[in-house]
Amino acid sequence: MTHVTERSGATGGPTGGSGASHQPWTGGLGRPVRKRTVSYADAGVSIEAGDRAVELLKSKVRETRRPEVLGDLGGFAGLFRLDTKKYKSPILASSTDGVGTKLVIAQQLDIHDTVGIDLVAMVVDDLVACGAEPLFLLDYIATGEVVPDKVAEIGAGIADGCRYAGCALLGGETAEHPGVLRPDEYDISATGVGVVEESEILSPERVEVGDVVIAMKSSGLHSNGYSLVRHVLLGAARMRLDTVIEEFGRQRTLGEELLTPTKIYAKDCLKLIAEAEVRALAHVTGGGIPGNLVRVLPEHVDAVVNRATWRPQPIFDLIQTKGRIDDPEMESTFNMGVGMFAIVSAEDADRALACLTGRGVEAWQAGEIIEGSGNVQMVGQHTRG
């Protein structure tokens, strides 16, 4: 975070008090002079709390530093020296995202150190989908009231996510919005920038008939579909977040499952690109498997994905059963257990799987590319029970 400011919902004047250089005002001719002082804090904005939050975060942010970063926190802008000697024709890639209503669960449980990981994942895994290495990220936190320890927890999660992705947390903004957000409410977003050699950009044009579709397991719901999750589980089914769900194992509660951080695939995918002939990568977010895999297909092929090759985590079955949701709605809303797809040449399929397995990523061959018209064909049935 570079600095803290108020954006909306409050107006304030200069601070003052006894002995302060504050100008008195008169209500009218002949009326006695009265002193009036109004502070920014009176309007709900604490600059001191914001400064304290930044101080608490500095050590975590420095852990994300890359050699290309110039200067330190506190400036008006973050500076990053792009190594132009490393590339013949460098192309910058950018992505912006948030976490959505998963934040409501974090606020209800008063757990704030994981949603930052979700935020980074949503941004950097979009960047790597075009083959770009994430370089740096800028965050934005808007809250009804800046509570330094809470902001520090959120920021610590963001910093952790950046470390996992190998990118620098270059700066950002924490804004206090009294009157717009409740004191315990906040929203977060981030913008990331990456770089890729122009000749190595992943695109649909690379995908060919006969290629193999490799799936990488998700850590759970990731950060999509939480409005439906809350409607079904916390609304209609009236489940409690502290309820232990036997199917989750290890005495795991519903709240713990719902706050499972999103898997960050960036480093794994970059290594995979270096080791195998990767045609395309598809980050599975809103829209599910069909809605995201289709984005990397040229018009003359189809991707056939066999559901029988994996079993979704129990949370998906719980949502579907409690909500009586049909299969197409589930697949168009949730990742159903797959967070990233890689389309690779058939010759490199085994090498790709070995690479991912060696890095601790659970991956499997989920389908193939056939002649078609740019569609995703979901076939087979998931293993249940």
d(CA 365, CA 349): 8
Are 45-77+85-200 and 204-379 in the same CATH fold? no
Q: How confident is the model at residue 40 (pLDDT cuts 50, 70, 90)?
A: low
Cα–Cα nearest to 305, from 268, 272, 342, 345: 342
Q: How confident is the model at residue 277 (pLDDT cuts 50, 70, 90)?
A: very high
What's the CATH superfamily of 204-379? PurM-like C-terminal domain (3.90.650.10)
Sorted by where each begins, the domain ranges of the chain are 45-77+85-200, 204-379
Query: SS3 breakdown of the chain: % helix, strand, coil, rounded to 5?
Result: 35, 25, 40
Segment 338-347, tens digit of pLDDT: 999 999 999 9
By DSSP bridging, strand 338-344 and strand 212-217 are: antiparallel
Cα–Cα nearest to 128, from 161, 152, 94, 87: 94
Q: Residue 322: what are its φ and ψ, rounded to 5°?
A: -65, -35
Residue 59's alpha-carbon distances to 64, 70, 100, 294, 383, in angstroms, are: 9, 16, 27, 41, 46
Provide the whole-model pTM.
0.87
Looking at 82-91, 288-297, 368-377, which range is the least confident one?
82-91
pLDDT at 94 over 80: yes
Segment 133-145, tens digit of pLDDT: 999 999 999 999 9
Give the pLDDT of residue 31. 53
CB atoms within 10 A of CB 292: 20
CATH for the stretch 45-77+85-200: 3.30.1330.10
pLDDT at 8 over 60: no
Nearest 5°: the CA angle 212, 218, 224 is: 115
Q: Residue 206: what are its φ and ψ, rounded to 5°?
A: -80, -20
Give the pLDDT of residue 76. 84
Give the pLDDT of residue 87. 94
pLDDT at 34 over 60: no
